[in-house]
Amino acid sequence: MHTLSAGIVGASGYAGLELTRLAARHPNLRLTALFSDRWSAESVGSRLPLDGPTAALRYRALGEASQLEADVAFLATPAEVSLELAPKLIARGLRVVDLSGAFRIADRSAYPRWYNFEHTQPELLASARYGLPELAREGLRGAQLVANPGCYATAIALALSPLIKAGLASPDGIAVSAMSGVSGAGRKASEDFSFCELDEDLRAYRIGKHQHVPEIEQTVARFAGACGPMSFVPHLVPIRRGILATCTLRPAQAAEQADAAAALERAYAGERFVRVMAADKVSLKDVARTNRAHLGVAFDSRAKLFVVVSAIDNLLKGAAGQALQALNAAMGWDEALGLDLLGG
């Protein structure tokens, strides 16, 4: 194994901060550049409790990112910024792991509706590899451009895919209710995300129009065989981090809870970062600050529905941790490199 030089663009956002901490201790990565307009010219050590060469680095302006000289670039940037920057970096020979939604949806025509821009890089879109190793590992090896999955998409696709693939649940009529911590909204000052507005409150948002909907449907269809239009209702809860998703599916045959639990166990047997347990034991506190996903399934015999509960840390398995896991897979390294000491 050899060491790769790495840069992080958007290093002062929540995902960028997590990436900096993780990459700084990754045995095969050497951080050489961090980009943030907010903290431009400040030292990394003045912002993060890090030691050594990483602490001595100084943040650089985002406008300099297109000239990054490194082996790999992590883009913790808005989708429009990634769309412009990724092709420039790839043309310079860099491997790119993009944490935005710029390359997640294969259908180019879907971007105006879900992301409010026209996609101008059809060739890169076609070549991007989806960075959810538990479902897409085979396609990641050697990837030049990794499209890191969305946080909701990670939690929900992991929950839905095994039951549909096993023929136990119908790909139609799926309904998902999911709750996310406030860090999922990004690091920005806004009245809606201020303490007084959020504390002791709970709200649904972007009902039926969240940008992760087509990504979830695409991912489940790609890896489970089919997925019809789903109802997805995200909620904002007054906690810092974490996602808990409750997914309801119609049985496709006379199946019992034991069948569904066995399907989850088979799908994720041997996976380092996925644990299957009783549905009522899945909780956010057990996955917070880890790269793990916890899953459980129950059968509602009265309503005759499967209920799959999924929990992840939105900043780690839903963003920075998964980006490192996907890079590890792309390089043929142990996927737990840089992630093995994350506790809970």
Active centre residues (catalytic)? 151
Rounded Cα distance between 233 and 2, Å, is 44
Dump the DSSP string for 114-154.
HHSS----HHHHHH-EE--HHHHHHHHTT-SEEEPPPHHHH
Asked whether 211 and 250 are in contact (CB, 8 A), the reply is: no
- Single-letter residue type at 308: V
Of 69, 79, 80, give the one whose Cα is nearest residue 35. 69
Cα–Cα distance, 158 to 153 (Å, whole number): 8
- Cβ proximity of 267 and 286 under 8 Å: no
Question: CB-based contacts of 341: which residues, under 8 Å, 6+ apart?
Answer: 25
Q: Please check whether residue 279 is in contact with residue 252, taking contact to mean a CB–CB distance below 8 angstroms.
A: no
Distance between CA atoms of 288 and 267, rounded to whole angstroms? Answer: 23
- Burial label, 227 (beta-carbon count in 10 A; 0-12, 13-18, 19+): buried
